[in-house]
A and B are shown apart, each in its own frame.
Chain A
């Protein structure tokens, strides 16, 4: 009897104690209560309650503002610990888009670890502050991004002309005010690429400098050469309010990453599609070989440094990137987090890219080469060979450009080399358009400094000669590099259907006779220490022999 009473008494007291503990935990210990308790508004302490931004269109209920009180729409003059500070001015009103659309993280959470996404089972952790602008990639697809060199040229012009004297850019500059004290400073150029600059800005500036009332206008602007203005326009068009992101994207389109990887449907197929490389779930990513914190940024950076170390068996070669390049590419990869937001929320650039086929990269040959070719053929077209992979020829070699007609080069780009790494860029999905191929050819000619191939009046097939003799010669001088059956080794494969159907006999003979200076292909027209000079007949015989492979299976 008393045992039951004791049971009841003790369990009841226990229940009461636990309920009190739960109540304390819920009503006193929550960190957002502490933070709001320390915050002061314009009219005294702020009212301590859960706060949120609801965006029905994005299905978002972001409670970040429960702690970051000052970032809530309509809150002004909140003072207190740094966490309650106001949001820095940005293009998008947090009240309209919420927080997680740009920053990631778990908007519904009200505890720091959960909200910032560090907790397990939240696939989208918050972007670190240094990568905050990668969040733009959730909706935006910056189009017509030039390559790194073009951006740098533009930036040099921008600095040379001292535009920052009057204009602000990403919070810098704008110290010199035209019109003296109280006059207007120049417009902020941080987002000029998105808003668009006046077409006649140069003429306007010149006119004002000529007619300017005060000395500042007269001294701060003068005539500028046209080339510099073009570079400057490219640079200004890339100022869209995402500092560093466009530079990172330019880097991606300079190092030739799309040669192997597709992004938004454009690029090669050798590597994984990177369209959502920045939205990977860290919970489903292997961090076994990643030193440091298990964050996606860290994974991407380490993977760029040494792919095979992070993903054992990966085919991606170590690219020998500088730390700066690793940082830039990591930044860009993190921005690849395209969301499924309703189309009503799509910005202009994304609509242009996805509905009107606008390219994400600029249409000039240099950028196109940097986008698709540079990873294998080298930034200067000097050719490359990654360990364990076949050689990628030096496509800007002057000897090559002198014997290769534009049609041959364009045909090679378009039809590729079946069976080898070189894809058929003109035929494959996500490849190059005809005018882009032409631009690439032009760029190669510019790189090699050979304006056009030597004129060739011969028919495509003219070589006659003894194929048997050619076979002997091939075995003696060619097989070492090109393989006994022309399958390629240190040198490129010759037994290739597309190569032999696009190459003329002149091309083959000239290549054998001249070689490719600066590569391991010697010119057999002249004798060297390891081979005698081949006569024209020998060359012809070799061409005949090589031709036999054209129709071989």
Chain B
């Protein structure tokens, strides 16, 4: 049938691609690029540029009567200060395992979360803690000291009293 030969295309046939739809593709891809760029930009938002934690450095006054080997924990801080014959030092009280605050005991430190134990100088005695408790930098003198929680010093570094 000649009529059939000239029958219009079927709806089920692919549309004859006479020319590439450059304009459509360009439009689509520029939209995708723009939205993608916007998405990347907005994904930067949740990462805070500044943290609202207070200064890591703080001042502390050690009581004159502090016996050697006894920890002095300034209120609100997770640092234990010690004074012995060789000088003053500060040991972090943040467990190196998962960040719980360890409890200071006469023989060392105990972590309540997963049972890590540390000796008085911060060395791991048992438990899952992978590292010793770090020592913080102490400056000052005459009973008034400045502890910098942001700066660690090798274990055994004391400030000459």
Interface residues of A (CB under 8 A from B): 2, 5-6, 8-9, 11-13, 15-16, 19-20, 22-23, 49-56, 61, 63, 73-74, 93, 95-96
Contact = CB atoms under 8 A, between A and B. Distances in A.
Contacts of B30: 8-9, 12-13, 16
Interface string B141-161: 000000010100000000000
Nearest to A72: B55
13 contacts: A6-B23, A9-B23, A9-B27, A11-B31, A12-B27, A13-B30, A15-B34, A16-B34, A49-B49, A56-B54, A73-B57, A74-B148, A96-B59
A18 to B, nearest CB: 9
Interface in B23-41: 23-24, 26-28, 30-31, 33-34, 37-38, 41
Contact of A50 (B23, B33, B50): B50
Contact of A22 (B41, B49, B148): B41
Given A61-B52, A63-B50, 4 more contacts: A11-B31, A12-B30, A19-B38, A50-B49
A73 B37 contact: no
B53 interface: yes
A2 B55 contact: no
Contacts of A53: 55
A73 B56 CA distance: 10
A518 B53 CA distance: 70
Nearest to B76: A56
B37 A12 contact: no
Contacts of B55: 53-55, 73, 95-96
Interface of B: 23-24, 26-28, 30-31, 33-34, 37-38, 41, 49-50, 52-55, 57, 59, 148, 150
B28 A8 contact: yes
A123 B92 CA distance: 42
Contact of B34 (A19, A23, A56): A19
Contacts of A12: 27, 30-31, 33-34
A6 to B, nearest CB: 7
B147 to A, nearest CB: 12
B37 A16 contact: yes
A51 B51 CA distance: 9
Nearest to A53: B55
Given A8-B31, A9-B30, A50-B50, A19 B37 contact: yes
Nearest to A55: B54
Nearest to B22: A5
Contacts of A5: 23-24, 27
A5 to B, nearest CB: 5
A73 B53 CA distance: 14
A8 B27 contact: yes
Contacts of A23: 41
Contacts of A96: 55, 59
A6 B148 CA distance: 60
A15 B28 CA distance: 13
Contacts of B59: 93, 96
A12 B33 CA distance: 8
Most buried by B among A12, A13, A73: A12
